[in-house]
Amino acid sequence: MPSRFLREDLASFSPYSVTYLPGIIKLDANENPFELPDEVKEEIKTEFMKLPLRIYPDPTALKLRVAIASFLNIENIDERHIAVGNGSDEILQYIFTAFLNRDNLVMYPNLSFEMFSVFSQVAGVRDVELELNESLELDLPSVVEALYTYRPKLLLLCRPNNPTGWSMPREDVLTILEQSKRVNTLVVIDEAYGEFMEESLAYLVKDYDNLIVLKTFSKAFSLAGLRLGYAISNEAIVKDLMSVKLPYNVNAFSQMVGRIILEYKDLILSKVRFIINERERVYSRLLSLDNVRVFPSNANFLFFYCEEKNLIDKLLSYGIKIRGFEPKHPLLENAYRVTIGKKEENDKFLSAMEEILS
């Protein structure tokens, strides 16, 4: 029951909800199954002892932004093109704050990152959903048509898409960027899972002044607990984002850890290949199950349909938690998303599925 002070337009609002079950095989939130290597944690410990906590952190997170720009290694991209936030979630929120007012319209696919809709509702803006087709893909002509029909201020795309794992082909993204420019639409490409397709379109921010690419340390870098994400865009947009942010949004500890993580990038990202291989293995096994319809994925999770009743609870009885969805849309009926875990976790999930469906 909301308080009597809540905005009336939020009365029927459903927030992003997560349940926390300690000790379970957690394949529900697209986290990385690997903890940071001990040597990285040791270095963080040493640096932590030198960290002044008495004073506020650098509000511009300059050293971290320099480190991110150098890690990206894109010609003509430097710290002026990077904004950082408490997770990429926070940057998404700043995008809404900086660029949208209540008369504006935002557009995003009907099956995509749930926070797109949460932020739209909280910002009180109008939204239009783009329909995915039966293969859970976006048809380019329908996106272009919608751009001209609605002329949204903001178009949000997630590549690879959460929860489906599909990635829009690069050529389609280029067409959308061209057409968006004509109707003055700002495009956000959320690459939270980009490392698992080993491709990024961040370099396009040099060619398109209506593009923001979002990335995070939460997935490939195993740092969901730290809350650190960043945006890559042109200097003007980055300045706009920084002008609306909380002064000290990224704390001193996160700024320091982010820099250290990037020094160990090869060690940490070496696990990405393993996760990709596991994803393909789990995909093939699920494909062989009669009652499962699984989709190919470019991310660290797989999306599937299964008509088995109470599948979530049945998997929980095996100590495994995967993600189910409220059937707000026909495409979400009997739909599930499973995160790729360690080999033994994936094996337990697969055997549980085989037993439940036998």
Q: Is 229 in the site for ligand PMP (CB under 6 A)?
A: yes
Nearer to ligand PMP, 190 or 345 (CB): 190
Are the C-beta atoms of 70 and 211 separated by less than 8 Å? no
Are the C-beta atoms of 212 and 189 separated by less than 8 Å? yes
Helix, strand or coil, per DSSP, at residue 79: helix
Nearer to ligand PMP, 150 or 221 (CB): 221
Q: Is 278 in the site for ligand PMP (CB under 6 A)?
A: no
Are the C-beta atoms of 324 and 316 separated by less than 8 Å? no
Q: Is 158 in the site for ligand PMP (CB under 6 A)?
A: yes
Q: Is 185 in the site for ligand PMP (CB under 6 A)?
A: no
Q: Is 216 in the site for ligand PMP (CB under 6 A)?
A: yes
Q: Which of 87, 152, 258, 324 binds ligand PMP (CB under 6 A)?
A: 87
The residue type of 136 is L
Nearer to ligand PMP, 108 or 208 (CB): 108
Phi, psi values for residue 80, rounded to 5°: -70, -15
Which residue minimizes CB distance to ligand PMP? 87
Nearer to ligand PMP, 153 or 215 (CB): 215
Q: Which of 162, 180, 233, 234 binds ligand PMP (CB under 6 A)?
A: 162
Give Cβ neighbours of residue 328 (< 8 Å, ≥ 6 apart): none
**Minimum separation from the CB atom of position 277 to ligand PMP (A):** 21
Binding to ligand PMP (CB under 6 A): which residues in 30-59? 30
Phi, psi values for residue 267, rounded to 5°: -60, -45
**Minimum separation from the CB atom of position 79 to ligand PMP (A):** 19
Q: What is the distance between the terminal CA atoms of the chain, rounded to a whole angstrom?
A: 42
Helices (H), ranges, the chain:
38-50, 62-72, 87-99, 114-123, 140-150, 170-182, 235-244, 252-263, 265-287, 311-316, 343-357
Tokens in use for 28?
């529900």
The rounded distance, in Å, linking the Cα atoms of 131 and 234 is: 30
**Minimum separation from the CB atom of position 245 to ligand PMP (A):** 14
Nearer to ligand PMP, 268 or 353 (CB): 268
Q: Which of 136, 154, 192, 272 binds ligand PMP (CB under 6 A)?
A: 192
Q: Is 160 in the site for ligand PMP (CB under 6 A)?
A: no
The rounded distance, in Å, linking the Cα atoms of 230 and 340 is: 24
Nearer to ligand PMP, 224 or 289 (CB): 224
DSSP code for 308: -
Q: Is 167 in the site for ligand PMP (CB under 6 A)?
A: no
The rounded distance, in Å, linking the Cα atoms of 313 and 303 is: 18
Nearer to ligand PMP, 153 or 219 (CB): 219
Q: Is 93 in the site for ligand PMP (CB under 6 A)?
A: no
Binding to ligand PMP (CB under 6 A): which residues in 109-128? 113
The rounded distance, in Å, linking the Cα atoms of 197 and 273 is: 10
Q: Which residues contact ligand PMP by CB under 6 A?
A: 30, 87-89, 113, 158, 162, 190, 192, 216, 218, 224, 229
